[in-house]
Amino acid sequence: MNKIKTGDQVIVIAGKDKGKQGSVTKILNNGRCFVSGVQIIKRHTKPNPNAGVAGGVVEKEASIDMSNISILNPSSKKADKVTFKVLEDGSKVRIFKSSGKEIK
């Protein structure tokens, strides 16, 4: 079970976008992920009329390393650590380390 999953609200804790918040849109296998509104880069693309691509300078999101983000605790509005807890029925859930509340 991963500490950060797709759809989690995260905050950037290191890098050029430090302090920005967003939602995890995709997680890659190499320890990187895509966060909405974070790590925006510019790509120069050639026009391709067959595919309907106009071309020019396109702004898109690049992947960010998982070590540079932390999950956002909605009650304290700050970055928090994640730990796991095994319930009585044997299922494993993620909880915030500071408050002990379950992550939805």
Does residue 102 lie within any of the structural domains? no
Does residue 47 lie within any of the structural domains? yes
Does residue 46 lie within any of the structural domains? yes
The average pLDDT across 29-58 equals 95
Does residue 94 lie within any of the structural domains? no
Phi, psi angles (nearest 5°) of residue 31: 85, 20
Residue 69 lies in domain:
9-74
Does residue 44 lie within any of the structural domains? yes
Tokens 């939805």 identify what position? 104
State the DSSP string of 30-52.
Answer: TSEEEETTSSEEEEEE--BTTTT
The average pLDDT across 21-41 equals 97
- The enclosing domain of 30 has a CATH number of 2.30.30.30
Does residue 22 lie within any of the structural domains? yes
Q: What is the pLDDT of residue 104?
A: 84
The average pLDDT across 20-47 equals 96
Does residue 98 lie within any of the structural domains? no
> What pLDDT, in 10s, does the model give residues 2-15?
899 999 999 999 99
Indicate if the alpha-carbon torsion angle 36, 39, 95, 76 is positive or negative. negative
Question: Per the structure, how many domains does the chain have?
Answer: 1
DSSP annotation of 3:
S
Q: What is the pLDDT of residue 1?
A: 74
